[in-house]
Structure 1
Amino acid sequence: MHPQRQHLHNELHARPSIYFAEPAHVHHYAFLADAEEHAGLLASLSETTGLAFETERVQQIVTLDNAVLKWERHTEFSTLTLMVPKAPGGEPWPAPPAWLAQVVDACSATLINATLVLAEGGDTWRGSAEAYGFADPAGSQVGGGDATVWSDFRLGDDGVNRLLLLNAGLNAFRLGRMVRRLLEIETYRMMASLSLPLAKELALELQAYEVELGELSDRNAEQAEANPRPLLTALSQLSARLERSGSRSRQRFSATDAYARIVFTRIEELREARVGDCPRLGTFILRRFRPTVHYCAAIHQRQQRLAESAARLNDLLRTRAQVEIEEQNTSILNSLNERASIQLKIQKAVEGLSIIVISYYIFSLFKLGLESLKGLGVEVQPYLAAAVLTPLGGLIIGLLAWRIWRVKRH
């Protein structure tokens, strides 16, 4: 058996929902947390509840009296979900239990989402969503008409978003899954929206970069004969700033795209139908959420296109600089060829002069030798001396020329 088979197969059961029956309250909190902060969250939870949690797991469901608690560890955030059965005649929007409020307060600096779901039967319907404290609510029939969900998506004084679910035909399994979808829509919507402040900040930054790149492009077009090094230096600095900006935002924009896809999928899984004249939940959410996602994607694409434009201009400048370098190299090579040609001519002239000088020196030696013979009383006739010395001198000069040729050849 493959060593990963069991682990991969059990991914189907990795994140089960809390299955319950109405009436009930579901408190849900999401915290931005890395591994250390997640460990601190579990430590605080263990201290307040007195339970031990398995920190190596990614989720765990435990029972506290008549409530059910589930914690989950995600890539960038951690969630706490508590299901508490509603007491008959109890408040529709109660505060969380004291121990849970203590844990939330301890991690309030990283709290990204707080949602309270009231799940009731359809027979307890008060006649209107306004009776539950909603103003201008949005509502939808979900699950093929087996439940109705209402919310105005306004945060209360405690910073909690409230959802009302009226169950008409969902069993405990489907009710738990439906509530989980609603909570995931809110949590992933908030996580996807984290890049909106960054996108707005980058919009101003990219505008300045675009102006700077346009000026560099104009200088490149207008100063075709100028030295490209100053332009290359300025463009390299701009490219470095663009790369730093991209590395700072790339992960955030990628996460926004992934979270948004989950939100869109979860809204489709609701299988909504209109309730009266109210807008549907999905329509209400997407009316502002989709433009947020598109704006972040547009800023990311704008950033990428700007970096690509800077790279193209950089290639043009480098090509221009390379052409100039090649022209300089060609000029240097031509100059070297001219110098070599001149040196060759000088060398040939020196060789010729050397042969003439050596020849003159040899004939002078022969003349001196003949005069010495005459002093010794040996008379040598001129024609005889010419007949002997001329071939001999020619042979010596020929040997010298042949020797010089061999030296040059090697």
Structure 2
Amino acid sequence: MNEARQAKSDGAETAALPGEHPLRRRLSDEVHARPFALLSAPERASHLALLTGEGTDADRRHLEALCTRYGVEAPEPHANHVLLDFGEFRLKWERHTEFCTYTFFRGGPLPEGDPFGESALDLVPRDWLGEMPGELLAAANLVLEPRDAPHRALDMVPEILGSGNFAAAQVSGGAAVAFMDFAIDEAGFCRIFVRDRWLKPRQAGRLVQRLLEIETYRMLALLAFPVARSEGASLTRLGERLSEITQTMTEIGALEDERRLLEEITTLSAETEKIAAQTQYRFSAARAYHALVQRRIEELREERVEGYQTFTEFVDRRLTPAMRTCEAVRDRLDTLSRRVTRAGQLLRTRVDIQVEGQNRDLLASMDRRARLQLRLQETVEGLSVAAITYYAVGLVGYAAKALKDVGVDLPVDIVTGAAIPVVAGTVWYAIRRVRRMIEKHAAAE
């Protein structure tokens, strides 16, 4: 179809288009990212999911080392998924945000007796497997049995899986029957057994991919469960301490006590935010992974196999309660954070009211002192007028006596007495004017 499209394009004049957005083709190719492998029974698959963290290329370099060993072309530097053929086995590698997956495929007849007796991983170099970067979180061995294989009775499935507790369902519209134990065997793998009925290669690839992703995302979602259990005790302790602080708030009235409680609430808030910062990513990721598990199970289009629990029932009984615990702890954390915030606001309001009361009392005291100072100032001004008048009138008296001694007929006592009101009025007016000038200058500033 692409060749025909290209031929048609070559035969017609290409229309002129505006300049492309630099991400246009990458975004378009994202729809076709992570294609399913084409599988035909009999087939065996070994799946490994390793936590590698973000921002690392160690897994890519490790994959390039395997390609170099087998003389296979390595994936492009920006590729996050690739399907490689190494002859004896095929490998599908995918890079995700915090983990990467390796799925090894091995064709050929299944071993007689135990179909899990030989896995695809047996063909992979042991030294390369031992040096894989990251921490192994999920591992699964899958067997896709052909439709022409001898029929196995359902009571033989526990012997094949090595466990009597497993999920079973007809999947892909009845095109296959899948069995999965969700348990780790002695080799460190969970087992998935699929009996082909009329699967097509692409349909088989989708089914195998979904079954493996159910196990991977189930384990990734459960990473939050230990965190929820450990932090639940811390939240209980912080909640009890907050209740004690809230109760104490109703019993105290001194400003120093309220400030002490405010410091305790600040410490409590810091501890709560620390827990939130440590758990927010894990809880959010768990919610996303749980949704993916549910989505993959829906895509199986499972139908009940009488006498056995379906994948949905298995997940609802075991995974869903753990996820609800995580959600409950997350809700408790959010509630505690809001309670701490409200208690802090309430206590700050009380402290502010206390401080405002103290400031009001201080301003009232300052006002009383200012009025007293004004009265003292007026008293001092009156005494100043009297003192200046006294000395000024004395000078007038001395001047009158001097004029009388030189022959001027001047009544000294009358002149001195008449000078008193004149001098006093002049001094009082001068002091008042100076005072008004100072007040006007201060008001201007």
TM-score, normalised by the number of residues in structure 1: 0.92
Residue 33 of structure 1 corresponds to 52
Q: In the aligned structure 2, how far is the partner of 1:293 from the partner of 1:383?
A: 112
Residue 321 of structure 1 corresponds to 351
Structure 1 counterpart of 2:240, which letter? V
Q: In the aligned structure 2, how far is the partner of 1:236 from the partner of 1:327?
A: 24
Does residue 45 (structure 1) correspond to residue 71 (structure 2)? The answer is no
Q: Deviation of residue 106 (structure 1)?
A: 3.0
Where do 5+ consecutive residues of structure 2 fail to align?
1-19, 441-445
Q: Is the 8 A contact 1:48 1:99 kept in 2?
A: no
Q: Deviation of residue 186 (structure 1)?
A: 0.5
Does residue 111 (structure 1) correspond to residue 136 (structure 2)? The answer is yes
Q: In the aligned structure 1, how far is the partner of 2:432 from the partner of 2:332?
A: 76
Q: Deviation of residue 243 (structure 1)?
A: 1.7
Tell me the number of residue pairs that the alignment of Structure 1 and Structure 2 aligns. Answer: 410
Structure 2 counterpart of 1:323, which letter? I
Does residue 341 (structure 1) correspond to residue 371 (structure 2)? The answer is yes
Residue of structure 2 aligned with 1:12, choices 18, 25, 31? 31
Residue 60 of structure 1 corresponds to 82
Q: In the aligned structure 1, how far is the partner of 2:100 from the partner of 2:39?
A: 22
Task: Give the 3 Å change call, closer, same or farther, for CA 60–215 of structure 1 in structure 2.
Answer: same
Q: Cα RMSD (Å) of the superposition?
A: 2.4
Residue 10 of structure 2 corresponds to none
Does residue 127 (structure 1) correspond to residue 157 (structure 2)? The answer is no
Structure 2 counterpart of 1:199, which letter? A
Does residue 149 (structure 1) correspond to residue 178 (structure 2)? The answer is yes
Structure 2 counterpart of 1:259, which letter? Y
Structure 2 counterpart of 1:303, which letter? L
Does residue 86 (structure 1) correspond to residue 108 (structure 2)? The answer is yes
Q: Is the 8 A contact 2:161 2:181 kept in 1?
A: no
Of residues 109-118 and 122-131 in structure 1, the stretch that sits farther from structure 2 once superposed is 122-131
Q: In the aligned structure 2, how far is the partner of 1:212 from the partner of 1:120?
A: 60
Q: Deviation of residue 153 (structure 1)?
A: 2.5
Q: Deviation of residue 299 (structure 1)?
A: 1.0
Q: Is the 8 A contact 2:389 2:420 kept in 1?
A: no
Residue 186 of structure 1 corresponds to 215
Q: Is the 8 A contact 1:355 1:400 kept in 2?
A: no
Where do 5+ consecutive residues of structure 1 fail to align?
none
Q: In the aligned structure 1, how far is the partner of 2:161 from the partner of 2:29?
A: 42
Task: Give the 3 Å change call, closer, same or farther, for CA 351–111 of structure 1 in structure 2.
Answer: same
TM-score, normalised by the number of residues in structure 2: 0.85
Q: Deviation of residue 348 (structure 1)?
A: 0.8
| Cα deviation code 1:226-265 (max 9, x no counterpart) | 5212112222222222222221111111111111111111
* Secondary structure of 1:234 counterpart: helix
| Cα deviation code 1:13-32 (max 9, x no counterpart) | 22111111111111111111
Task: Give the 3 Å change call, closer, same or farther, for CA 154–384 of structure 1 in structure 2.
Answer: closer
Q: Deviation of residue 52 (structure 1)?
A: 4.7
Does residue 99 (structure 1) correspond to residue 99 (structure 2)? The answer is no
Structure 1 counterpart of 2:222, which letter? S
Task: Give the 3 Å change call, closer, same or farther, for CA 147–266 of structure 1 in structure 2.
Answer: same
* Secondary structure of 1:53 counterpart: coil
Does residue 75 (structure 1) correspond to residue 100 (structure 2)? The answer is no
| Cα deviation code 1:375-395 (max 9, x no counterpart) | 223222479748974675366
Q: Is the 8 A contact 1:28 1:116 kept in 2?
A: yes
Q: Is the 8 A contact 2:43 2:106 kept in 1?
A: yes
| Cα deviation code 1:340-377 (max 9, x no counterpart) | 11111111111111112222222222222222222223
Residue 281 of structure 2 corresponds to 251
Residue 4 of structure 2 corresponds to none
Task: Give the 3 Å change call, closer, same or farther, for CA 110–88 of structure 1 in structure 2.
Answer: closer
* Secondary structure of 1:97 counterpart: helix
Q: Is the 8 A contact 1:194 1:256 kept in 2?
A: yes
Does residue 209 (structure 1) correspond to residue 231 (structure 2)? The answer is no
Q: Deviation of residue 100 (structure 1)?
A: 5.0
Task: Give the 3 Å change call, closer, same or farther, for CA 122–222 of structure 1 in structure 2.
Answer: farther
| Cα deviation code 1:91-112 (max 9, x no counterpart) | 5112322425543333497111
Identity %: 31
Q: Is the 8 A contact 2:88 2:123 kept in 1?
A: no
Q: In the aligned structure 1, how far is the partner of 2:221 from the partner of 2:393?
A: 105
Q: Is the 8 A contact 2:92 2:103 kept in 1?
A: yes
